[in-house]
Chain A
Amino acid sequence: MNTLVELKNGKTAIIRKIEGGSGLKNRLEVMNIRLGKKVKKTCSAPLRGPVVIEIEGCKMAIGRGMASKVWVEEI
């Protein structure tokens, strides 16, 4: 398993684990970033900037700290 930060650009994966407290989990969940969801990593912004992912056709920017707490399995 990789975190969203490590997942290569353009790859698709399934979310398997979200670390961190319930606050973070809730914040991710209401944006539809939940266990079992399929995500595609679009790219990372320059200079170690945020990670851009796509879930259900919807693009989201996530800061690196948060993205490193989301573990995914590449498919």
Chain B
Amino acid sequence: MNARTDSELLQPMHSPAQLSNTHLDALEEEAIFILREVAAAFERPTLLFSGGKDSLVLLKCAEKAFGAGRIPYPLLMIDTGHNFPEVTDFRDFRAKELGAELVVRSVEDSMARGTVRLAHPGESRNAHQSVTLLEAIEEFRFDALIGGARRDEEKARAKERIFSHRDAFGQWQPKDQRPELWTLFNTRLAPGEHFRVFPISNWTELDVWQYIERENVALPSIYYTHKREVVERRGLLVPVTPLTPARDGETVQTRDVRFRTVGDITTTCPVASLAADAGDVVLETLSVDVSERGATRMDDMTSEASMEKRKKDGYF
């Protein structure tokens, strides 16, 4: 589907007058306030940076909060080894461009250490990122990890505080979250504990795309339309890759697709789309009838509470 066909309809959205949006300004202001609070309140914070759209939006806000080249914390990526190369390449390029320190820790190293054991070789490594992440937290003694999670993504996320306390085992206690009053964030920690902090909690998928359009945030190419070999499986378009080959009886087709969300290759699916830039994606996002995760994630479909369970285990 190419939503961008009526050029007259599109015209007003791209006139300079539309570049100002009070709602986006308020969301940006909130994110910047939180990013500064983390820089000031913690000793060893880090920003989780995957090269995906939400973390690139976070990085844009961080650039505004601190000035180019002055982001006062390192960027951390937990690499499953199953990433789309377009995304990791872009991640490295962007970190370098910003002069930011990029720390990469990999699930494969955890497997080599024996701290991650796969049930079978083809198992998704996505859930195992938690182990590697907690190992990185221990290694660097991080006390705050900034993430690009949004409350509109998923029901368990909708319940989470902006400053989300984690115990010494990295666990989220959803039944016992700290009250969060006004912007008086209680950042006090006992040794070994840490916080996960979500500056763009209150953004929706549409807000993110409008912001990307307004601020000209550059993204990895796979967020926009491209031709890709896929198979249809349980209503999803599963990308055909060496890691995710077609199964017997499935027909491989080349389709025009884009990714709404990117993550581990083994769990992320694209959607059919001809959207070639952020403006196109904004229009598509306005007319979708399936949520970001419902359209694209294989791992969330296994159980109603799978995200909550993973978060309790230390997932971000």
A and B part of one assembly: no
